[in-house]
Amino acid sequence: MNRKKLFVALLMGAMAISACKKTTEPIDESEPIVAEDIASFKEAASIDLGGETSAEISAYDPSTKKLFVVSNEGGAKVEVLDLTNYPTITKAKTLSYSGNAGINSVAVNNGLLAIALDGADKQGNGDVVVLKTSDLSEVKKITVGAMPDMVTFSPDGNYILSANEGEPNDDYTIDPIGTVSIINVKSNYSVKTLDFSGFESQKAALVAGGFRIYGPKASFAQDIEPEYIAVSSDSKKAYVTLQENNGVAEVDIISGTITKINPLGTRDISLAENAFDVSDKDNKIALSTWPIKAFYLPDAISYFTTGGTSYLALANEGDTRAWKGYDEEARVKSLKLDPAKFPTTASLQLDANLGRLTVSKAFGDTDGDGDYDELFATGGRSLSILNASTGALVANIGKDLEQRVIDAGKYDDERSDNKGVEVEGVTVAEVNGRTLAFIGLERVDMIAVYDVTNPSSAKFVQLFATGDAPEGVLFVKPKDSPNGRSLLVVASEGDGTVKFFQPNRI
């Protein structure tokens, strides 16, 4: 065999071996660990975009070093920020959508920006607009369900999903159905919008598990209000919080079907590990036990995998239907309590005790006799971690979270009668080989960081201040960030600031 033939034979053999490896061994796609101190996140940059609601949700494009920020100040807008000269941040452009009633969310993947917009009529169908991040030219405008509250891409970039909340109007005379839209990017942005009518036959079992179906004159499908979406790392499943309903839906993205609803049950506040501060008029800040339960009512959700198992992190903010046409909120002192179930009613209903706590008057009269046999607070005041496959509760970070804020002297006692620290947002990411949950606390203007590498034994890491009322919590990996370090971007709707936090290198 001459040299040329020998070389060709060796080359063909090497290619065959390489091809064999590709089909028999998984490719290691793990990223190199950047040595960073997980407990040292601190503000590295900031920009003020205006007043209230001028900074809500953000998305970052590593290819152009642009950050896109939702703004509802003076109309539906996206502020485009340039991070090319980070930590110097400049506003490059404003995208305006004056024909839409509001803007809710943005997401970025592979050079595309997706924007979730309410319709011209908020209770009508909304839009997802797709732009190129390079030149901000429009690629496609897709009609989705009513009030797309959150938009996200699947990790592989093949799908865009929107959680279409379908809230009623203030008079509660128009109540659109809640839906989830799946947009197939590779199929010319074809869309399939799913509703929950197929689960009506399961209503009794779901309600028994703590699911809430209670809107006046609403069908099952109308009553569902999708809030936020997380997508599995293999891009096959989506998990959707149904906030007002106190549940999480699972969606098969490939087949385009909603496969199940997981009711979340309640927290028992009579247990020491679930203690609440329930009064803003007791002249103290103290977590105590009370004869009440709390619906979790999660807002944001984050999907993560650690130790070979996948999990969901839920930010249990709490929410109610408090409209002019229907309001479920009530103070405990305004309700008639069953004397057998609450033998110390007179004491409990004092302002210094349970009297001022906001509860739902839509639940608790279990025997239908006009008085309340149980009391349900309207928010979990915690971060829950669920097994993504089974829906089982693995951990609930609540009492420790609020106590950390109290110990730091940052607890807002005026919110004790409502949602406490108000756990609004969460994103879970890996820093220095550890899996961290970054938890946005809207009412105390802080981020709490917990190490959830072992989810059943979460460990507190850090607590740091943000802008007023942090809404969007975005993590950017070191390989994507403008300076090669982990980056946490926090957009705060209360004061319109966007702040950038980074840890120290080790």
pLDDT at position 475 over 90: yes
pLDDT at position 275 over 60: yes
DSSP secondary-structure letter at 503? P
Q: Encode 123-136 in three state secondary structure.
A: CCEEEEEEEECCCC
Q: How many CA atoms lie within 13 A of 413 on its CB side?
A: 13
- Mean pLDDT estimate for the chain: 94
Which residue shows structure tokens 């930010």? 315
DSSP secondary-structure letter at 119? -
Which residue shows structure tokens 């957009």? 491
Tokens of 254: 């490939």
Select from 180, 208, 212, 182 the least CA-distant residue to 196: 180
Distance CA 102, CA 122 (A): 8
pLDDT at position 25 over 70: no
> E strands of 354-445, at which residues?
358-360, 376-378, 382-387, 393-397, 423-431, 434-441
The confidence score (pLDDT) of residue 16 equals 39
Distance CA 379, CA 415 (A): 12
Select from 238, 229, 252, 248 the least CA-distant residue to 300: 229
Distance CA 380, CA 324 (A): 25
Tokens of 116: 């979730």
Task: Give the pLDDT confidence of 418-454 residue by residue, as tens digits.
Answer: 999 999 999 999 999 999 999 999 999 999 999 999 9
How long is the chain?
Answer: 506
Task: Give the pLDDT confidence of 62-95 residue by residue, as tens digits.
Answer: 999 999 999 999 999 999 999 999 999 999 999 9
Q: Are 151 and 142 in contact (CB under 8 A)?
A: no
Task: Give the pLDDT confidence of 337-363 residue by residue, as tens digits.
Answer: 999 999 999 999 999 999 999 999 999
Instruction: Quickly list DSSP for 454-468.
Output: SGGG-EEEEEEE-SS
Distance CA 343, CA 345 (A): 6
pLDDT at position 370 over 70: yes
SS3 183: strand
Check the CA dihedral 259-141-425-453 and report its sign. Answer: positive
Strand duo 103-109 + 393-397: pairing: unpaired
The confidence score (pLDDT) of residue 30 equals 61
pLDDT at position 29 over 90: no
Q: Where are the alpha helices (DSSP H) in 81-201?
A: none
The confidence score (pLDDT) of residue 134 equals 98
**pTM for the whole thing?**
0.94
Ordered structural domains, the chain, with CATH: 30-319+379-502 (2.130.10.10)
Task: Give the pLDDT confidence of 101-139 residue by residue, as tens digits.
Answer: 999 999 999 999 999 999 999 999 999 999 999 999 999
Q: How many CA atoms lie within 13 A of 195 on its CB side?
A: 14
Task: Give the pLDDT confidence of 372-426 residue by residue, as tens digits.
Answer: 999 999 999 999 999 999 999 999 999 999 999 999 999 999 999 999 999 999 9
Q: Are 313 and 384 in contact (CB under 8 A)?
A: yes
